[in-house]
């Protein structure tokens, strides 16, 4: 039943987002745009895309330090296979594949690898929110709704940074809070909460140096800055040069759209994000939609091909990966893993 509900949700979201993106589209004009684009920008786009994933791999190596010492070459196959799987499977199932493959290959607890992805998402969120707040300063006359959103983003960003500081330097406060909450929860829920907290604190343990935290934040900002550059190039392919601030806003909207349950490859979500974010700045829906198709296709093809390469090179089989995904899903939902040492 849960899978059926998830499937219905994904189909509904995909249909709704595609309908929104295509509602006011002139299909004849869209066809002309797609056939007459300046596809020379594909070369720098692919170069930036390769650098983007290289930076993701390097950052994951740093985040995994509490779990073990790994190299970029060791983490790249499971990372790329996971993102390639997101391109062909719905509902972010590629994340489960990434966890399953890495945990199996290096015999590490599933919970520890899962928490490393949570830490990764936190740094991504800090970078994305920072870009959104910065974008308002770079736009001469931003829409009022964006200004209000910027203040909310700044408050959220401050809350996240304070939370990270507490995890790093005052974990005892979190343990006391978890103990109090745990006594109020039924069954083993309290111990599961403590277990999860232990893993989160352990995952952040390698980042206790303020310099390292700043480095990781700056690295994440640079990585998402590459995404801004790819967005800018996607619009340049159709003769539209936007300001860095507008590209930053679109990047933040894209990240938000990708976070909800989506169809494979984020089809629909990406198109709706482009149209929604660019419409207030007077950019035609046809140009926004064409740029979204370029952005989607120029990531989907190389990432999926690279994932297939690593999948075949690793001698993996679909049935085997499916079984491991199910085991990982059960481990995550039941929280059966033994807590890592603090």
Decide if pLDDT at 164 tops 80: no
The phi-psi region of residue 38 (left if phi > 0; otherwise alpha if psi is between -120 and 50; otherwise beta) is beta
Closest by alpha carbon to 327, among 79, 97, 50, 123? 97
* Distance in angstroms (rounded) separating the CA atoms of residues 141 and 137: 9
Q: Total structural domains in the chain? A: 1
Question: What is the model's pLDDT at position 328?
Answer: 72
What's the sign of the alpha-carbon dihedral 278, 284, 289, 295?
negative
Q: In this structure, is residue 75 part of a structural domain?
A: yes
Q: In this structure, is residue 276 part of a structural domain?
A: yes
Q: How many Cα neighbours within 13 Å face the side chain of 337?
A: 26
List the domain range (segments joined by +) for residue 92: 14-334
Could you read off the pLDDT of 114-155 as tens digits, one per residue? 888 888 888 898 898 889 888 877 887 766 666 666 667 677
Could you read off the pLDDT of 225-267 as tens digits, one per residue? 999 999 999 999 999 999 999 999 999 889 888 888 788 889 9
Q: Whole-number mean pLDDT of the chain? A: 84
Closest by alpha carbon to 298, among 277, 270, 260, 269? 270
* Distance in angstroms (rounded) separating the CA atoms of residues 125 and 221: 10
DSSP string, 75-105: HHHHHHHHHHHHHHSSTTHHHHHHHHHHHHH
Q: In this structure, is residue 3 part of a structural domain?
A: no
Q: In this structure, is residue 342 part of a structural domain?
A: no
H or E element: which one contains 24? none
Q: In this structure, is residue 240 part of a structural domain?
A: yes
Helix (H, G, I), strand (E, B), or coil: what is residue 67? Answer: coil
H or E element: which one contains 175? helix 171-184
% of the chain surpassing 70 pLDDT? 85
Decide if pLDDT at 336 tops 70: no
Question: What is the model's pLDDT at position 260?
Answer: 80
- In the chain, DSSP assigns E strands to none
- CB-CB contact of 311 with 81 (8 Å): yes
What's the sign of the alpha-carbon dihedral 84, 85, 88, 93?
negative
User: Length of the chain, please?
Assistant: 342
Q: In this structure, is residue 39 part of a structural domain?
A: yes
- CB-CB contact of 202 with 112 (8 Å): yes
* Distance in angstroms (rounded) separating the CA atoms of residues 326 and 303: 24
Question: What is the model's pLDDT at position 325?
Answer: 74
Neighbour tally for 104: CB within 10 Å: 17
Counting other chains too, the contacts that 93-96 makes at CB distance below 8 Å and 24 or more residues apart are 93/325, 96/325, 96/328, 96/329
Position with higher pLDDT, 171 vs 70: 70
Q: In this structure, is residue 7 part of a structural domain?
A: no
* Distance in angstroms (rounded) separating the CA atoms of residues 261 and 278: 23
DSSP string, 139-161: -SS--HHHHHHHHHHHHHHHHHH
Q: In this structure, is residue 8 part of a structural domain?
A: no
Residues in contact with 8: Cβ distance below 8 Å, sequence separation at least 6, in sequence order: none
pTM of this structure: 0.85
Residues in contact with 263: Cβ distance below 8 Å, sequence separation at least 6, in sequence order: 10, 11, 13, 14, 90, 269
338: pLDDT confidence band, cut at 50, 70 and 90? very low
Rounded to an integer, the average pLDDT of 83-90 is: 90
């Amino acid at each position: 039943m849960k899978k059926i509900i998830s499937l219905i949700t994904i189909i509904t979201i995909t249909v709704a987002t595609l309908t929104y993106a295509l509602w006011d589209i002139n299909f004849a004009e869209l066809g002309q745009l797609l056939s007459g684009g300046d596809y020379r920008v594909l070369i720098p786009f692919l170069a930036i895309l390769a650098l983007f994933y290289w930076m993701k791999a390097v950052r994951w190596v740093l985040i995994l330090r509490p779990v073990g010492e790994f190299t970029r070459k060791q983490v790249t196959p499971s990372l790329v296979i996971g993102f390639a799987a997101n391109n062909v499977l719905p509902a972010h199932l590629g994340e489960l594949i990434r966890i399953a493959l890495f945990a199996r290959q290096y015999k590490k607890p599933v919970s520890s690898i899962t928490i490393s992805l949570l830490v990764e998402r936190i740094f991504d969120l800090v970078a994305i929110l920072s870009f959104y707040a910065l974008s308002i300063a770079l736009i001469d006359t931003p829409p009022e709704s964006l200004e209000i959103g910027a203040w909310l983003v700044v408050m959220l960003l401050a809350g996240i940074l304070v939370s990270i500081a507490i995890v790093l330097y005052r974990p005892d406060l979190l343990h006391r809070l978890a103990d109090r909450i745990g006594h109020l929860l039924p069954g083993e829920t309290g111990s599961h909460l403590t277990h999860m907290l232990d893993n989160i604190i352990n995952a952040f343990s390698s980042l206790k140096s303020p310099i390292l935290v700043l480095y990781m934040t700056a690295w994440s900002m640079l990585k998402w800055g590459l995404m801004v550059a790819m967005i800018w190039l996607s619009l340049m392919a159709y003769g539209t040069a936007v300001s860095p601030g507008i590209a930053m806003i679109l990047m933040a909207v894209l990240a938000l759209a990708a976070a909800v349950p989506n169809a494979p490859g984020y089809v629909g979500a990406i198109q709706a994000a482009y149209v929604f974010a660019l419409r207030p700045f007077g950019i035609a829906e046809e140009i926004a939609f064409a740029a979204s198709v370029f952005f989607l296709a120029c990531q989907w093809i190389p990432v999926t091909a690279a994932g297939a390469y690593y999948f075949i090179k690793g001698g993996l089989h679909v049935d085997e990966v499916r079984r491991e995904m199910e085991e990982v899903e059960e481990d995550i939902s039941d929280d059966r893993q033994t807590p890592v040492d603090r």
